[in-house]
Amino acid sequence: MKSEVKVALTILVAVFVAFIGYRFMADVPLFTQTYQVYAEFDRVDGIIPGSSVSMQGVKIGTVNDVTFQPNDSVRVGFSLNMSGQLPAESVAFIRSISILEKGVEIERGRSATMLESGSRIKGIYDEGIMGTIEELGAQAAPNIAKSTESLSSLLEQIDQMMLDGGRRDIEESLTGLNRTINQVEDLFRSKNDEIRDAISSLRNTLQNVEDLTDEQKERIDSIMESLENTGKEFEELAADMNRATSTLNNVLEKIDSGEGSLGMLVNDPSLYNNLDSLSYNLSRLVKDLNENPRHFLKHLRLIEIF
């Protein structure tokens, strides 16, 4: 074999190995055509060529290139190893996939239209929890600064008070507090026997109450049983009173509606007028009889009377 042929074969093998190595290092299938899409972002912190692209937690490709655009955006191209195409309205998010690594996550759109290879999808940079912490820190920074200033002012006032004699006042207060504690200890020490006797008396009293309760248990049970019986009798009496009240209400309703003689007497004014007239006539008759009995007896004979 000639030297030229050997060189040519070596070059071809080197190119083939380089092609395979590039495809392997770029995580691109060796002999299949990949699906290419790209997105534009305002910022792409942590994204470099070779960063992973995933969808629903499954790695489907890698980042091919990251380039600046004239409108100050950053264009990121993706090489996807997937069957089929992405629906329109799909979105690419740059998110943290670990503490130190970021990647691209694609969320499928719901459109029925599919994107051809080389199409553009919407890109969003998701700052994640670190961005939220940074935002909260920025919002809390003025309050922290004010709190620090207030704390510094308070410490300066305390320091000035200590220099102006506050230390002496604090020492005197602590001395007085110690004196009070010592007096309380002396009081308890002197009254220790009395406190012990009082506790013993209280314990004896409780024991006596417990013994009395045990002795009178049968009597207490009898009283409770009598109270329960009395309560039942009261319930029966209440039921009888309710029935009597119901009967009385029925009678009053009948009287009010004019049923019976008493109802007619109450509701018919003519009966009242007749009774009133009869009472008046009887009163006149009794009055005339008392005043002039001869008028009624002059036509009667003694024999007819007896």
Number of Cβ within 10 Å of residue 53's Cβ equals: 23
Q: Please give the share of the chain, as a percent, with pLDDT higher than 70.
A: 75
Residue 192 lies in a domain: yes
| Predicted local distance difference test score (pLDDT) of residue 297 | 63
Does some domain include residue 181?
yes
Would residue 260 count as lying in a domain? Answer: no
Same domain, 100 and 183: no
Q: What is the pLDDT of residues 101-160, one digit of tens each?
A: 889 999 988 888 998 888 999 999 987 665 566 566 667 777 777 888 888 887 777 777
Structure confidence at residue 37 (pLDDT): 92
Q: How far apart are CA 229 and CA 250, in angstroms?
A: 32
CA–CA dist 180, 167 (Å, integer): 20
Q: Answer with the one of 103, 131, 159 that is the final residue of a domain.
A: 131
pLDDT tens for residues 7-23? 778 888 888 777 666 65
Question: Where does a domain end: 203, 235, 251?
Answer: 203
In whole angstroms, give the CA distance from residue 14 to residue 11. 5
* Same domain assignment for residues 46 and 112: yes
| Residues 35-59, mean pLDDT to the nearest whole number | 89
Number of domains in the chain: 2
Select from 156, 178, 203 the last residue of a domain: 203
Count the Cβ atoms, other than its own, within 10 Å of residue 16.
10
Residue 272 DSSP SS3: helix
Cα first-last separation, the chain: 187
Work out the average pLDDT over 162-172.
Answer: 68
Residue 55 lies in a domain: yes
One domain, residues 45 and 122: yes
| Residue 38 and residue 103 in one domain | yes
Contact 267, 258 (CB under 8 A): yes
Indicate whether 171 belongs to any domain. yes
Q: Provide the residue range defining the domain that includes 47.
A: 33-131
- Which residue is associated with the tokens 């029935």? 243
Tell me the pTM: 0.38
Residues 57 and 110 in one domain: yes
What three-state secondary structure class fits 50? coil
Res 31 pLDDT > 80: no
Q: How far apart are CA 76 and CA 46, in angstroms?
A: 12
Residues 53 and 89 in one domain: yes
| 184-234 confidence digits (pLDDT tens) | 888 777 777 778 888 888 888 877 777 766 666 777 777 778 888 887 887
Q: Are residues 168 and 198 in the same domain?
A: yes
Cβ proximity of 26 and 62 under 8 Å: yes
The pLDDT value recorded for residue 39 is: 93
